Structure 1
């Protein structure tokens, strides 16, 4: 369905029992709401109602051109506005990658709107910032961001039929084609997605406070982006019931590589 909010039109994929407890699903780069296709049925079977939001840059009706429109506070405000449009006072939030970053902001700044948080792959921003400061290995993991933030990011990622994007998504097998095709064929989509990286500044990470809602952080030991230190220190920034779930042998793409394990972790959190 299409949701009008903040002057934009957001695509939202809904599913599950109409009277189910609401769960907001927030995707990451370079995916979209489809990354939850393997997870959502498991949540529906538990009686939950899911709303998978195509975030700004991904929804065709929500692609502002200015880089400043992709500061993390903007997609966080989008999520709140979409909940308002759906007449949902509060929801459980599951976010992956950039969606996890948005989830951390929502939980820290709008705790009354977030029943629980399940953050996947990306840790609390303050834990990540600390690891970037003290671990050269974590800084090395983020080397790709220089390309993503550069003016040639789109051209490099789409060269050779999207060879670099396909390599990034190799663990997903055939599902990688879903996202490569969309980035290649939809005007402005990749630029909007890369603008999240271009707008990112260290002070944004430093400004995220302690989370006071029940939280689970799901990290995988073969994630090439986030190292162990940031994962272990995320709990320092949660002043509520907290669990770290470490998956073995899984890369960054947890919702599609390990949907059963993620569903189990999320349901444990949601069901208390």
Structure 2
């Protein structure tokens, strides 16, 4: 475990591989942590990559440097955290890879600071940027159905469920998000320890309340949110992996994704894989990172 002050955070992260290797940053989602990438990091390190796996804000040892910093979970915050981490580690360019919250952070940096990104590996829908200006706009019922937990976490009952039993709540999400993944108690417990972070519940609740317009974001991040709401194209070399059994992001057709990318190399759907793609199919994930260079 290493630590570095980066922006508003002290970030805890794992590092492996040669110090002079081509940098790769692997970003986990919610409700997961760095354990997602144990096997992926091993493969990439063996291939000569310098691998950085940070705990996102609100997870594990990562904490805020100042008490007064807003505990927000919006996409601009996640992207800003990643950019600050690259700066703090003096990494000028890196391959960035992630899913869920981590995939969103990677997409933010790839879209707004492409000069810092050698390649992007994004999972699920691939283009993981949100239009916060349309947060109050209803989507198609069949899509809203898969987001049940967004709305549950906007209710008093849902907020209490997360605060009072975060381990039990998140374990159910693991099952719902990846219905064909046969994880065991040990695997889950290794990650669940990261949910004991004092800011975990507040950041999670802000994330899912902000994205439907129930709470405001950090005013300092508003300009970035406006840039992201304009749906900027991602111009860096990109690979998208989808899980055929993903309980959050239903696989989408290439024609829905291609307009958002100018250098999309491929979109691949993996059978018998759910939402936690790098832990469910680490070989495919590592191979895609290496393919990006």
TM-score range, shorter chain: 0.7 to 0.9
- Partner in structure 2 of residue 178 of structure 1: 190
**The 10-residue stretch of structure 1 (99-108 or 155-164) with the greater mean CA deviation from structure 2:** 155-164
Aligned equivalents of 1:249 and 1:111: distance in 2? Answer: 33
The answer as to 2:176 corresponding to 1:188 is no
1:1-272 superposed matches below 5 A? 1-58=2-59, 59-62=61-64, 69-125=72-128, 135-157=140-162, 162-170=167-175, 171=181, 172-174=183-185, 175-183=187-195, 185-200=196-211, 206-229=229-252, 233-268=256-291, 270-271=292-293
1:214–1:242 contact (8 Å) kept in structure 2 = yes
**Contact 2:28–2:100 (Cα < 8 Å) also in 1:** yes
Following TM superposition, by how much is the alpha carbon of 1:43 offset from its aligned partner in structure 2, in angstroms? Answer: 0.8
SS of alignment partner, residue 229 of structure 1: coil
The structure richer in helix per residue is 1
Structure 1 residues 94 and 127: alpha-carbon distance in aligned structure 2, compared to 1, 3 A threshold: same
Q: Which runs of 5+ in 2 are unaligned?
A: 176-180, 214-224
What SS does structure 1 have at the residue aligned with 2:122? strand
DSSP-derived class of the 1:236 partner: helix
Structure 1 distance, partners of 2:125, 2:101, is 7
> In the superposition, relative to structure 1, how do residues 149 and 33 fare at CA in structure 2: closer, same or farther (>3 Å)?
farther
Distance of 2:81 and 2:24 partners within structure 1: 16
Q: Deviations over 1:63-101 (max 9, x none)?
A: 877767332112211111111111110100001111111
- TM score, norm. by length of structure 1: 0.87
CA contact (8 A) 2:23 2:49 kept: yes
Are the aligned partners of 1:22 and 1:51 in contact in 2 as well (CA < 8 Å)?
Answer: yes
Q: Residues 147-181 of structure 1, C-alpha deviation per residue, up to 9 Å, x if partnerless?
A: 23444445313656833322222433231222333
Gap change, CA 1:53 and 1:91, over 3 Å in 2: same
Unaligned runs of 5+ in 1: none
In the aligned structure 1, how far is the partner of 2:57 from the partner of 2:166?
Answer: 24
- Contact kept, 8 Å, 1:95 with 1:101, in 2: the verdict is yes
Deviation of 1:60 after TM superposition, in Å, equals 3.9
Deviation at 1:262, TM superposition (A): 1.2
RMSD over aligned CA atoms reads 2.8
